[in-house]
Every structure is written in C-alpha cells, then in structure tokens.
A and B are shown apart, each in its own frame.
Chain A
C-alpha cells in the first residue's frame, strides 16, 4: 500500500514537473552599471523561486559572441579570449576548459534559452572580468565594468588621412606623444584592456599597425606609421572615445550639418511593397519625405534635397551619387516594410549600412588576413585588398550612422504606437557608396493590413516625419557640440 501511495506521489511530482514550466512568472530585473553610471532593465522568469534571464538579452548586454547548435543544444559564448560552453538543460558549464556548475540548469522557455541568474554572478563575472552582484531582495543586478574600460580600437582610411578611434567605457586621461618619428604612443591612464583585441594591422598608405600593451596603471597604444607624419588627437563623447588623426587635413573641416539628402524609396516603375489594400510604398514614403523636408528646412534652416520629388524612377546608385555630389552631411532613406507570412510583420525599424555585419564575415576576413601575414604575400594579393576594403567600408561613418539610427528609432518610438522592432545593420545597395552617415528607416509594415491603413493616414505620416525630425535635430545638436569640444594638442 505504501508502495502505491509512493507511486501516487511520484506521479503527482511528475505532473508538477510538467506543469511547472507553464507556471513561470514574468518579472523584471534592474541592471545598474558602475555605481549608477548607466541603467538597464532586463526581463526575467521565475521558475521554482529562481530568477532566469534570457540568453539573448545577456548576449546583447555583455557584448558576447554566441554560437548555437540547435541539434546538440550546445551554446558557445565568447568574450575575447574567454569561452563558455554549455548544453541547454545541463547545469554543467565549461569555462575555458574547466567545468563549473550552477545549482539550476539552463533551460528553454517558449523556445528561448534562459539562464539562472547565478550564471551571471558565478560564471560570467570571471569571463567578463567584471564584478556582477545579484541582490534578490531588491531585484537589482550590479555590474561593475571591471577592468576593461578601454574597449576597442577602430580606424578609417580617408583619401589623405587615417583616423584611429579608441573606444572607452568612461572618460580617461591620456597623453599622446611621439618618441620616434614614425611612432605615436598614447598612454591611457587607468586604462585596462585586452591587448590582443586592440591590436590591428592597418597597412594603408600611412599607418602600418596598432599594438596595445597593458601596463600596471595604463593602457599603452602604439601606432606605427609608414613614415614621419603629423598627428592630431582629441576626445569625443557619447560614447567616450579618443580620436587620433594621422596626417590630419590642414584646413579645418566644417563640422556643421548643412545639407541633408532624404531619399523616398522606390518610385515610377518600381512601386515598392504593395499592401493588401493596394497601398503603394512609393506613394507613402514620398509623402513622409516631403513632410520631413518641410520640418527640417523650416525649423533647422538646413538645406534638404529629395532624391525624387514625384512618382518617377531613380536608379539606386544615382540616389547616393546625388548625395555625394550635393556634399550632404546625412543620407536618410525612407521605406515601408514587408514580409511573407500570416501576420506579415509589424512595427518600425531603422537600419544603418555596414558591409560585413556578421561575426562570421569578420572571422573570415581576420582569418584571411592572418594567413597573409603568416605567409608574407605568398597567397593571392586579392584577399588582403578585400580585407582592407572591407575594413574601410566597415569603419567609415559606422559610428555616426549607428548613432543616428538609434536616435531615429527613439524618435519614432516617442511618436508611434506600433511595435519598436530594432536598430539593425545590413549591407544595403541603396546606401552603399554614400560618403556620409546613412540610414534606412522602415516606418511600418505595409504588408500588415492594420499598419497599411495607418500608413495611408496623413496624421500617421506626419507623426513619422516628426519622429525622424526630432532625431535629426538631436543628432545635429550632439554632433556639433561634440565637435566643439575638440581639444587640439
């Protein structure tokens, strides 16, 4: 009889086990960085009293590289040289080839992978070299940025000059100097970095390479030049960064935004996406572009050029060529989105242009470059040229474009009630060739009947234009202010 009862108990426990995942409770966790320097909120799910956070959100939050194998359920997280591997459903975690354990295993929730909160405070903190504390009572996750406050080094090659940008987590004092004619040394005081990640080969006509060193109380960045060239250094904000221009332009650049090109997508024989109610993308985006032009020229007094002012066809390449000829400071392409499927999408999103957006592409480029360096030119020269082209296109205006994209997405968020999808990057034919920061805004889904009727509404069109306008005004202010902060050597 006892046996029967115990069978009954086991069965009840089984039912409970099956039912429990369905009873997860949704909560929010507040993330505070560096004693309140920044804050964020992430979603959490409570299973059996333990907080679980979404892997996807953590990857974004901590800038990890993620690899996922759906068949073996293996997750690989990479941050610089460190690697964390685990299988969803197992509480064993491999951290740099050493096995660690969490009391609760990672698991699926509605198809998404979730991690127990201790995964952050016990496992990720070591990998990220950050201090992560979880306070269950206040539901606050405290993250101290840890050692890595010198986050990265980027560069852009222009016709006459090379710009090197050092990304910082917070403002740090620094000194730039030349000890040898062909070497610029930058000491970032209090800087802590991962030197391997910051070192890069440039090999344009001015700069050979950049190497980073971690000194006891500073990060030292050595820029090796091809020949003796002048330099200029200054700092910029949002995000904090040190900028080093090698062979800077002699005459001062005009750091003002004076011309904006707005590109209403499609036109003429190309109607763009067509809604089920027959609404054509080309008509809607033209109306929005015209309204945006009115707002910008009236309120900011900036010259605005439209790539088309009526319903006619303009080839994609001519649109950016026009912007280059007009010496525009910004290029904004306006579109309405579409997708196949039942719901046919919904919401607004903003894209900025980038050539090789994926980490796979970067890895390929890096690998090819490494091969070249090892074999000293014995491989076909094409790959190196590819790599340099990739890197130039990847870096030029990337920062400005992404800043503008974020502001536009926020601007639209304040004006529109439809879903805020995301800021994303992709390689757009319509944006490539633009010699200025450029973005593409997908204002709503014309393939979604509800949003199609919104798009037809002049009021909605006006709100879209206002949202984008506000972002441009803010961008202009931020940009010109940051340029005003320039402190020369």
Chain B
C-alpha cells in the first residue's frame, strides 16, 4: 500500500517535471528552429499562411517568418498586404528590412511581364540606412516575399514617388526588375 502511494507520487512528480520541461523548452526550441513555425491548425478559408523574409540578426541573410494574413480576393490586394506586413517588421527575433516610415503609395501588376511594381513614398529611400548589405536585404526581402507567396509573380520592380530610381542609397542597381534570389536566404 505504502509502496503504491510512493509510486503514485513519484509518477505524478515525473509527469510534472516532464510538463514543466516541455512547456519551458517550447519557446526555446521554437526560437532555435527545432520545430519549424507551422501552425497546427489547418488554415481557415479566409486566412492564408504566408512567408515573409526578414534580416538575420547579423544582417547576413534573409530568413523566413511565417505569418497568417487575411486572404484577399484580388491579387493586387494580397500583394499590398504582403508589403504592409514587411513594413510592419518582424514579430520574432529577426530584424526589419524596410524603414518603418515607408508607405506603399501604389502597387500594380503587369500580368504579361509577371511583374509587380511597388511604388513607395520618399521615406523608403530617404530613411534607408544605406550600405550594400542593407540595400540587398531591403530589395530581396520584398522580391522574395512577393515571388514566394504569389505564384503569378516572377519579378519585382521598385519605384519611388512614381518613378524608377538608380539605387536606394548608392549601390545596387534598382533601375530594372529583380527575379528571386535564393543565395541571400539562410535555411
């Protein structure tokens, strides 16, 4: 009888420890990417799981942050929503890629070119930190996010105040549209 009780207490204790360990380690393991951020629930009809590219903390690479956004009927609205999410910045431990003061003025898609044109306000360029690394992260977080999430899109063209710009801050050529770049992505 006595032994039985001890065993029960022991069992409960072990279970408690397990629960604590598991609960404590979930955020840690999540952060470490041991389980990838996949929501357990099947996406509801009006919600879409999207992949947003943000900068790794040492500004070396882009990494994916998965996020659920409202599904939009029109592809231009969906593209706008993606850009807005990028401007809002990351929720996890990644770093932003777009100056927070940035506003998307207009967005249009040319289906024959499979290209989306993003027209930003002046703050996008004026508040950009500069640097080749900074420019590449900004450009390809937009490019890869839009191309990965919208199957109709293969290229992204950046505009500021309605026109093309030579560069964001003096380095990478932004006069033409960009295809996806996988070499800047860290897995």
Contacts and interface: CB of A to CB of B under 8 A. Distances in A.
Contact of B182 (A14, A68, A281, A339): A68
Contact of A337 (B132, B154, B182): B132
Interface stretch (B15-23, B74-82, B103-111, B115-123): B15-23
Contacts of A4: 7, 10-11
Interface in B18-48: 18, 21-22, 25, 29, 32-34, 36, 38
Contacts of B167: 316, 429-430
A335 B132 contact: yes
A4 B12 CA distance: 11
Interface stretch (A144-152, A293-301, A340-348): A340-348
A356 B173 CA distance: 12
Contacts of A427: 172-173
A55 B99 CA distance: 32
B171 interface: yes
Given A18-B21, A68-B182, A281-B130, A340 B7 contact: no
Given A272-B130, A442-B132, A445-B131, A341 B36 contact: no
Given A111-B33, A342-B57, A273 B182 contact: no
B99 A340 contact: yes
B159 interface: no
Contact of A56 (B29, B36, B136, B186): B186
Interface string B155-187: 000000000001101111111000111110111
A357 B38 CA distance: 31
Given A8-B11, A339-B55, A442-B132, A429 B63 contact: no
Interface in B94-144: 95-99, 129-134, 136-138
A318 B50 CA distance: 42
A115 to B, nearest CB: 12
A265 interface: yes
B69 interface: no
A1 B51 CA distance: 49
Contact of B95 (A15, A341, A422): A341
A70 interface: yes
B59 interface: yes
B179 A364 contact: yes
B2 interface: no
A452 interface: no
Given A339-B134, A429-B175, A11 B55 contact: no
Interface in A98-131: 108-113
A338 interface: yes
A18 B23 CA distance: 11
A8 B14 contact: yes
Contacts, number: 188
Nearest to B154: A364
A394 to B, nearest CB: 14
A426 B183 CA distance: 11
B187 A18 contact: no
B179 A358 contact: yes
Contacts of A343: 57-59, 95
B34 A108 contact: yes
Contacts of A73: 36
Contacts of B150: none
A341 B66 contact: no
Contacts of B175: 429
The CB with the most chain B CB atoms within 10 A, among A66, A426, A428, A440, is that of A426
A476 to B, nearest CB: 25
A340 B33 contact: no
A56 B187 contact: yes
A428 B96 contact: no
A187 interface: no
Contacts of B153: none
A71 B66 contact: yes
A265 B134 contact: no
Contacts of A66: 182, 187
Nearest to A70: B64
A351 interface: yes
A9 to B, nearest CB: 10
A369 interface: no
A336 B4 CA distance: 71
Nearest to B180: A360
B57 A341 contact: yes
A37 B177 CA distance: 42
7 contacts: A56-B187, A71-B51, A265-B170, A337-B133, A339-B55, A349-B133, A429-B167
Nearest 8 interchain pairs by C-beta: A341-B95, A111-B33, A338-B131, A345-B59, A273-B130, A339-B59, A337-B131, A429-B173
Interface of A: 1, 4, 7-8, 11-12, 14-15, 18-19, 21, 55-56, 66-68, 70-71, 73, 75, 108-113, 265-266, 270, 272-274, 281, 316, 335-347, 349, 351, 356-361, 364, 419, 421-422, 424, 426-430, 432, 440, 442, 445-447
Given A108-B33, A108-B36, A273-B131, 15 more contacts: A1-B3, A11-B18, A56-B187, A70-B36, A71-B49, A112-B186, A339-B134, A340-B97, A341-B95, A343-B95, A347-B58, A358-B179, A360-B182, A429-B170, A440-B171
